Amino acid sequence: MTRFAQIPPRHSHAAEIGCEGEGMSITGDLLRARVSWWPARTQSVLFDAVHGVDTGYKLPAELEITSANRDKGFAYDPCPWPALRQTLRLASLQAEGFTFVDIGCGKGKVLLAAMTMPFLRAVGVEYSPYLCRVATQNMTSARLLTRRCPRVEIICADATRYPIPEDPTILFFANPFGYDIMECVLDNIAASYEHRPRQLVMMFYRMSALMPRVSHFLSTHAARWTLSTTLARRSVNIFELGPPSEMRLQSGQAPAPTDPPSPIS
């Protein structure tokens, strides 16, 4: 299920060109995003041509979504290819020993990146059957990529109903839906941790608009806000539940939960 926001009827032009969180001003921010969107689209087309996949922006009118939450997602907007690897590097996190879950995987571009890393397994959760089929085909047909993850799967499900893996897990969110759905998913994560304590890492990519509410919710569950920075002008925020990992964080990026950093837009 991902991009609860992969719904053409809600596919606004602002979302199409890559806004963060829940919107942007119709002035300088919008103009800058409009200019930066075209190079991103060109890179996406080249990536698909080289690797024999379809991760691009083009979608049919009907995504076959039957979930009651079908209108609560944001428009499909694939992540840049380096986003996952660079985010892991920023946090000094290794793939070994973790299950990776992309909540709102869309056509599976981030999952393709995870497939090239030694995660225990990689899971894409998406609530559009159409996008699940495309993602599954991409995992099968991708070429010129070194597969290091032994198990990759696409689960067609509403994110609010997805059971959190019982392994140490990295959960990746690339602005898939609004806070009402996000709170349900975070509540499931917190409940899963309370049932079986282990290391859970939550990565929020280009989601600065939701961070105040996300951080407030997670602080009530003793999550640590371990990183708040930008990556190619996109915000990256990382929270952890469980024993502290052996991250090498830059000074000032790992404050106590009672004094979290201001998310960078």
Domains held by the chain: number:
1
In the chain, where does DSSP find H-type helix? Answer: 13-16, 28-51, 83-90, 109-115, 129-141, 179-195, 211-219
- The model's pTM: 0.81
Tell whether the model's pLDDT for residue 263 goes beyond 70. Answer: no
Residue range(s) defining the domain that contains residue 27: 1-265
Please tell me whether residue 6 adopts helix, strand or coil conformation.
Answer: coil
Dump pLDDT digits (tens) for 29-57: 555 555 555 566 778 889 999 999 999 98
Rounded to whole angstroms, the Cα distance separating 265 from 221 reads 24
Tell whether the model's pLDDT for residue 84 goes beyond 90. Answer: yes
Confidence of residue 74 (pLDDT cuts 50, 70, 90): confident
Mean pLDDT of 16-38: 50
Angle at 237 between CA 232 and CA 243, to 5 degrees: 135
Q: Please report the pLDDT score of residue 223 as a whole number.
A: 96
Mean pLDDT of 134-152: 97
Mean pLDDT of 3-32: 43
Confidence of residue 243 (pLDDT cuts 50, 70, 90): confident
For residues 94 and 167, the answer to whether their CB atoms sit within 8 Å is no
- Local structure of residue 70 (DSSP, 8 states): G
Dump pLDDT digits (tens) for 86-109: 999 999 999 999 999 999 999 999
For residues 124 and 105, the answer to whether their CB atoms sit within 8 Å is yes
Please give the structure tokens belonging to residue 81. Answer: 């290819």
Dump pLDDT digits (tens) for 170-216: 999 999 999 999 999 999 999 999 999 999 999 999 999 999 999 99
CATH of the domain at 258: 3.40.50.150
Confidence of residue 120 (pLDDT cuts 50, 70, 90): very high
Other CB atoms within 10 A of residue 31 CB: 12
